[in-house]
């Protein structure tokens, strides 16, 4: 009787062990954690001074599903921005697509602004925006020759209008005239006071004594 009892206990124990291991292979790996992935994008990435770019930070799971309702910060790193630009936050809580959005405005200084998106549970991501120096006009004038002797001797006057980067400025009205308090000893005849495709306006000086 005692012997039979021991056999029953042994059978029950083996059955329990078999059920615990049932349905799970020894080679089945554990499920991968669903991580938060943060990305950032700027459109465009190169701007002139005092221009705009849209900054979009996107938060998704490692499986590609958008993460909504989470706070994402978009800011300069380092601060202040080298171009002296600014960032205006449109929405820092991710929408149904997982997006947070800001508007970047460049400053007036040439350089590279680095913008960084941060989220508590993901690695920060950055994007660079390149800011070009603002163009400004430079006017030069030349006379050939610069010295005349006699009456009705002519000198060709050429005024050239370009940007600081050397790009001709066409279609601009350039006045070529005498300056100063001295009484002119000659006359100026305008040839073309509207700059051509090379940024050039012309006139002719004629001596009178």
The residue among 209 and 100 whose pLDDT is bigger is: 100
3-class DSSP state of 19 = helix
Rounded Cα distance, 127 and 55, in Å: 9
Tell me the chain's radius of gyration from C-alpha atoms.
38
Instruction: Give the start-to-end residue ranges of the domains of the chain.
Output: 36-131, 137-208
Mean pLDDT of all residues in 10-33: 46
Peptide bond into 145 cis (omega under 30): yes
pLDDT band of 28, cuts 50, 70, 90: low
53-104 pLDDT, tens digit each: 999 999 999 889 999 999 999 999 988 888 889 999 999 999 999 999 999 9
For 196, the enclosing helix (H) or strand (E) is none
The per-residue pLDDT for range 175-193, each reduced to its tens digit, is 998 887 567 788 999 999 9
Q: Check: CATH 1.10.10.1200 for 36-131?
A: no
Q: What is the pLDDT of residue 11?
A: 37
Residue 209, token pair as written in the block = 């004594």
Residues 101-153 pLDDT 10s: 999 999 888 889 999 999 999 999 999 999 986 677 889 999 999 888 888 99
Q: Which residues sit opposite 113 in a β-bridge? A: 129
76-to-42, 86, 113, 116 alpha-carbon distances in Å = 13, 9, 7, 6
Q: Above 80 in pLDDT, residue 30?
A: no
């Amino acid at each position: 009787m005692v012997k039979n009892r021991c056999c029953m206990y042994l059978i029950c124990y083996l059955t329990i062990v078999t059920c615990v291991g049932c349905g799970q292979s020894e080679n089945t790996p554990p499920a991968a954690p669903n991580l938060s992935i943060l990305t950032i994008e700027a459109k465009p990435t190169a701007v002139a001074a005092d221009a705009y770019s849209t900054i979009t930070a996107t938060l998704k799971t490692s499986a590609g599903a958008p993460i909504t309702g989470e706070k994402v910060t978009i800011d300069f790193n380092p601060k202040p921005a080298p171009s002296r630009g600014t960032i205006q936050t449109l929405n820092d809580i991710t929408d149904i697509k997982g997006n947070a959005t800001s508007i970047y405005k460049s400053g007036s200084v040439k350089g590279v602004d680095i913008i960084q998106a941060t989220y508590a549970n993901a690695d920060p991501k950055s994007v660079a925006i390149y800011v070009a120096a603002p163009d400004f006009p430079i006017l030069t004038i030349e006379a050939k020759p610069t010295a005349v002797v006699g009456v009705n001797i002519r000198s060709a006057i050429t005024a050239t209008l370009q940007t600081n980067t050397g790009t001709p400025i066409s279609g601009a009205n350039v006045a070529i005239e005498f300056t100063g308090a001295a009484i002119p000893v000659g006359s100026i005849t305008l040839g073309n006071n509207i700059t051509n495709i090379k940024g050039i306006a012309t006139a002719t000086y004629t001596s009178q004594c």
